[in-house]
Chains A and B, each alone.
Chain A
Amino acid sequence: MLDTLLFVVLPYVALVLFFLVGIARYRKRPFSVTSLSSQFLENKKHFWSTVPFHYGILGVLAIHLAGLLIPDAILSWNAAPARLLFLEITGLALGIITLIGLFNSIMRRIRLPRMAVVTNKSDWVLLTLLMVQIILGILVSIFNGWGSSWFASSASPWLWSLFTLSPDVSYVAAMPLLVKLHIINAWLILGYFPFTRLIHVLVIPNPYLWRKTQVVMWHRDRKSVRVKD
């Protein structure tokens, strides 16, 4: 029962919130969609918080995504112990980089009076959730080793069972407590995501790579305005 609540209901609620609120916010309140950068107020500590945090978290998420999308490839990569170890250590290192970045980010917000002005309650909830998640992730990686393998063999099928609307909790029911906590907190973050500054992750500006250098916008359609003459 509790398993169903935590590993079926919670994920679905989180996903629905994520998509519905995310899309609604993007469409109804586009002004609120921003990364709310604070670099303008302070520049040095900013580097040591934002940069490690983002490279770390993006790496960590990339590995999770690989486990989800190409589990078989991960499993065959991990067949050789050296390669498994390499992946594990990379993951752990990225986790620690993320932790350092997030820690600096939190300290920066606590210490600097200017930062207090641009930090609200929601930021604190979010930063706490992220902190808990990263610490749990690191603990999992240390105490419940070879995560890259069991993620691909157990977590991934469970997630797919959710996505295909035929939830099967048996995959996760047997997992160790740390892992369960990590999973539950992940869904909390995902559900909370669209209400927070994390919305910036959804608007990364890829068209920049191929659009024209200069942007010119017209009010009038020039060709049709002037009929003759």
Chain B
Amino acid sequence: MEVRSQIAMTFHLDKCIGCHTCSIACKNIWTDRQGTEYMWWNNVETKPGTGYPTRWEDQTNYNGGWELQNGKLQLKSTSRSKIVPNIFHNPSMPTMDDYYEPWTYKYQELFDAPEGDDQPTARPISMVTGEHIDIEAGPNWDDDMSGSPVYAENDPNLDALSADVRQQMFEIQRLSFFYLPRMCNHCLNPACVASCPSGALYKRGEDGIVLVNQQRCRAWRSCIAACPYKKVYFNWSTGKSEKCILCYPRLETKQPPACHHSCVGRIRYLGNVLYDASRIEEVASVPKEQLIEAQRSLILDPNDPEVIKAAKENGIPDGVITSAQESPVYQFVKSWKLAVPLHAEFRTLPMLFYVPPLSPVMSGSDGDITSNETEDLFHEIKESRVPIQYMAEILGTGATAPVEYALRKQFAVRMYRRQLTVGDVDEATADRALFEADCTREEAEAIYRLTSLVKYEDRFVIPPAQREQAIEMIKDPLDHKQSTGFGFSSPPMRV
């Protein structure tokens, strides 16, 4: 057992209101420079929909992630053997047109336009070439457009659904969608890291954050193709890859990442988990149907004395172990099994877990009549407006069981709370629902607390970064007394 700590996240999709505040918070801090305009390290997609970059989930086209070849794990895009042909021209490399060409407007024209019969307009200009462009795509182009045949029907996840189910989804009375906020998953088996010929990408041992060393990146761009979530981006101006850094300068000072901190729906939870690093490859290679369970089994119980002992032996500081014990992510993923990874079948072992959303419960369609009746309040999960098979494609590696389990439990918690607060559900019914959902009253109470009442400190349990220890390893604190503060990347010099 080789115990390591990993910062992991849970997004509660039922609570996401699709406001994009997270994306903007990130953009303002990190990707407001030339070459990064098109990047959205955090983006929010409407599902069903095609996403950003367009149809990123379709790996027959993008070749992201890992695949099993004769039981052995292989990168789909660039393996060692393919590196020579791929380094000159990577056949799996997306281009800017798969994302969108960033633009701004010539606002000055509003003021400078000569007097005329028409209103002056600010024409869009490309932020790459500076020339006029016709805007044809954007990072959230199909926002709220589910149901639209132009966008939603091209969702790659629909390919696996039967014609019936598809048709049902696009019936006007049943139209429904949910939001999927996405960011780098800081995977345990990152395809980007494994693909980099220069070894410029790496995972931080202490907290598992995946970073690109800008000094060593040589624009071989294997990572762009390898990441199945398309969360490593190519800066066309600097010729370097860039990606979400999980706001590590904030984390190191006990602040959550900006996207988490700003989240209006309070859907985001962050905390570290302990896991067994010696089993990564084994777990990433199990058959597809077993991936979600196997990934859960990789995460260790931070209260188990054996685990604590092994963690200490591996140099994990006490503070990090304590914070793992309080991690909200552990609760969601392990204790309650409410959260599942996104497209676990890409085999990167993503460390961002999603609580599948219950689709609208207030009104269900019954033939042509839309009902708002109380009986309908707790409709059968299987009759969700967003078909469970669809959700399974995204969050269940194609199997409905993990998603159904999570939905049933959320549903039971609602029944239970309704019985307590409104009283129109009787105790026996609530208890039966809990029983069927593999949930106890205590657990239901805990879930209710962590999803509905969540305070800042409950959502973000950030392990100490122990940077002071890291510094002590390299520098003698006495020698460097009075020399901290601002540093210089090159020595100050007067000329």
Instruction: Please measure, in the bound complex, the distance between the C-alpha atom of A93 and the C-alpha atom of B89, giving whole angstroms.
Output: 21
Residues from chain B with a CB closer than 8 A to the CB of A50 are: 88-89
CB distance from A142 to the nearest CB of B (A): 27
CB–CB B315/A226 < 8 A: yes
Chain B contacts with A in 74-89, Cβ cutoff 8 A? 80, 83, 88-89
CB distance from A219 to the nearest CB of B (A): 4
Number of chain B residues close to chain A: CB under 8 A = 53
Given contacts A39-B221, A224-B473, contact A216 B203 (CB under 8 A): yes
A-B contact pairs, 15 of them (CB 8 A): A37-B219, A37-B234, A40-B93, A42-B95, A43-B95, A55-B88, A113-B129, A117-B129, A205-B218, A208-B80, A208-B199, A216-B205, A219-B470, A220-B470, A222-B315
Given contacts A219-B206, A220-B470, contact A51 B89 (CB under 8 A): yes
Given contacts A41-B236, A43-B93, contact A222 B205 (CB under 8 A): yes
CB distance from B379 to the nearest CB of A (A): 45
List the one stretch of A28-36, A65-73, A143-151 in contact with chain B.
A28-36
CB distance from A21 to the nearest CB of B (A): 18
Question: Is B148 close to A, CB under 8 A?
Answer: no
List the one stretch of B9-17, B158-166, B175-183, B190-198 in contact with chain A.
B190-198
Instruction: Please measure, in the bound complex, the distance between the C-alpha atom of A46 and the C-alpha atom of B234, giving whole angstroms.
Output: 16
Residues from chain B with a CB closer than 8 A to the CB of A216 are: 202-205
Residues from chain B with a CB closer than 8 A to the CB of A226 are: 312, 315, 317
Question: Is A217 close to B, CB under 8 A?
Answer: yes
Task: List 19 other contacts, CB 8 Å, given A217-B204, A222-B205, A223-B315.
Answer: A34-B240, A35-B218, A35-B219, A35-B220, A35-B239, A37-B221, A40-B93, A43-B95, A47-B89, A51-B89, A208-B83, A211-B199, A215-B196, A215-B203, A217-B203, A219-B205, A220-B469, A221-B473, A222-B315
List the one stretch of B209-217, B323-331, B417-425 in contact with chain A.
B209-217
Number of chain A residues close to chain B: CB under 8 A = 46
Residues from chain B with a CB closer than 8 A to the CB of A37 are: 219-221, 234, 239
Question: Is A83 close to B, CB under 8 A?
Answer: no
Given contacts A215-B199, A216-B203, contact A40 B221 (CB under 8 A): yes
Nearest 8 interchain pairs by C-beta = A222-B315, A205-B197, A218-B205, A219-B470, A36-B239, A30-B215, A37-B219, A34-B239
The digit string for B221-253, where 1 denotes a CB below 8 A from any CB of A, is: 100100000000010111110000000000000
Residues from chain B with a CB closer than 8 A to the CB of A41 are: 95-96, 128, 236
Residues from chain B with a CB closer than 8 A to the CB of A200 are: 218-219
Per DSSP, are chain B's interface residues mostly helix, strand or loop, or mixed? loop
Question: Is B90 close to A, CB under 8 A?
Answer: yes
CB–CB B218/A34 < 8 A: yes
The chain A residues found within 8 Å of chain B, CB to CB, are: 30-31, 33-43, 46-47, 50-51, 54-55, 113-114, 116-118, 200, 203, 205, 207-209, 211, 213-226, 229
CB–CB B201/A215 < 8 A: yes
Residues from chain B with a CB closer than 8 A to the CB of A42 are: 95
Residue of B nearest to A48 (CB): B89
Given contacts A118-B236, A220-B466, A220-B470, contact A36 B203 (CB under 8 A): no
CB–CB B315/A219 < 8 A: no
CB–CB A116/B129 < 8 A: yes
CB–CB B95/A38 < 8 A: no
Among B128, B312, B315, B317, max chain A CB count under 10 A is at B315
Residue of A nearest to B80 (CB): A209
Question: Is B146 close to A, CB under 8 A?
Answer: no
Residues from chain B with a CB closer than 8 A to the CB of A39 are: 89-90, 93, 95, 221
Question: Is B43 close to A, CB under 8 A?
Answer: no
Instruction: Please measure, in the bound complex, the distance between the C-alpha atom of A213 and the C-alpha atom of B203, giving whole angstroms.
Output: 12
Residues from chain B with a CB closer than 8 A to the CB of A220 are: 206, 315, 466, 469-470, 473
Residues from chain A with a CB closer than 8 A to the CB of B470 are: 219-220
CB–CB B198/A208 < 8 A: yes
Residues from chain A with a CB closer than 8 A to the CB of B237 are: 118
CB distance from B267 to the nearest CB of A (A): 30
Given contacts A34-B240, A216-B202, A217-B205, contact A40 B234 (CB under 8 A): yes
Instruction: Please measure, in the bound complex, the distance between the C-alpha atom of A51 and the C-alpha atom of B198, giving whole angstroms.
Output: 20
Question: Is B189 close to A, CB under 8 A?
Answer: yes
CB distance from B413 to the nearest CB of A (A): 38
Residues from chain A with a CB closer than 8 A to the CB of B318 are: 229
